[in-house]
Amino acid sequence: MSYILGLTGSIATGKSTVAKLFLSAGIPVVDADLGARAVVLPGAPGLADIIEHFGEAYLLSDGTLDRKRLGALIFSDREKRKELDVLLKERINDWIQAEKERYISEGHNLIVLDIPLLYEGGYEDSCDAVMVVYVPEELQVQRLMSRNHLDADEATRRMQSQLSIEKKKELADFVIDNSGTIEETKKQVNDWLLKHRTV
Ligand SMILES: CC(C)(COP(=O)(O)OP(=O)(O)OC[C@H]1O[C@@H](n2cnc3c(N)ncnc32)[C@H](O)[C@@H]1O)[C@@H](O)C(=O)NCCC(=O)NCCS
Ligand SMILES: Nc1ncnc2c1ncn2[C@@H]1O[C@H](COP(=O)(O)OP(=O)(O)OP(=O)(O)O)[C@@H](O)[C@H]1O
């Protein structure tokens, strides 16, 4: 039996940073953001759905999705965001499940599902436990501003497009506090692995 650990947080709290720590410990990670990119590659039905729904203005001249333009739209308009979620959710879910099954069939006893919208999308039921990567909101906004070159208003809007990190922390089975150094985060992940790797 494989133990399925859901890994989440809110935008820029450090999921990818923690996912890399699991990967370097040899644990397979299913990255939902990669799935979200795979289902909108040129030729994929998800891209055709987006263009049909939102229009050709969301295509770049090389035929790929204009992610920047679509991001600007959905992070400033709740209804449009919901429409995009409806268009892509099933396809992303199928991608996640297929990757998970592949790792299960390879015999891994621990598999991490890195899903930014884990709670918003109701994925907690398909996990044995959920780990939330936490930083306080002020630090979240700062890291988001500096990583994505956003001003404070835009970063706050993106943050508010997801369930708050405080709420996710309450719902979590395990919390990794990523407000210190990467080394401090690494220690928490390694301690968790020492306790749970053989579950
Ligand atoms: C709007 C898009 C094109 C913007 O692309 P961009 O390259 O700028 O951002 P990227 O994909 O790296 O996402 C960055 C982060 O934004 C957050 N985010 C993405 N989509 C959403 C959404 N619909 N609602 C809330 N937060 C979201 C996540 O925390 C994600 O990790 C892209 O995010 C997208 O296709 N989103 C819809 C798919 C989705 O739901 N992805 C989340 C995976 S579960
Ligand atoms: N402990 C830390 N100390 C300093 N900077 C950090 C730390 N952890 C992460 N960061 C930085 O904060 C930013 C956000 O981290 P990361 O990309 O891992 O977040 P994420 O939760 O995966 O984001 P998203 O939801 O957008 O995918 C990155 O620029 C990263 O380098």
Nearest-atom index, ligand 2, CA of 147: 29
Return the residue matching tokens 């795979």. 38
SS3 72: helix
Q: Is the CB of 12 under 6 A from ligand 2?
A: yes
The rounded distance, in Å, linking the Cα atoms of 106 and 188 is: 27
The rounded distance, in Å, linking the Cα atoms of 28 and 127 is: 15
The rounded distance, in Å, linking the Cα atoms of 169 and 174 is: 8
Q: Which domains does the chain have, with CATH numbers?
A: 1-28+110-199 (3.40.50.300), 34-107 (no CATH)
Q: Is the CB of 159 under 6 A from ligand 1?
A: no
Is pLDDT above 80 for 199? Answer: no
Nearest-atom index, ligand 2, CA of 11: 25
Q: How far is CA 151 from CA 117, 135, 165, in A?
A: 23, 19, 20
C-alpha 9 – ligand 2 centre gap (Å) = 10
Bridge partners of 6, per DSSP, are 113, 130
Q: Is the CB of 12 under 6 A from ligand 1?
A: no
- Reported as a single tens digit per residue, the pLDDT across 154-192 is 999 999 999 999 999 999 999 999 999 999 999 999 999
**ipTM of the predicted structure?**
0.93
pTM, two decimals, is 0.94
Return the residue matching tokens 């956003």. 150
Element of type H or E holding 65: none
Q: Is the CB of 188 under 6 A from ligand 2?
A: no
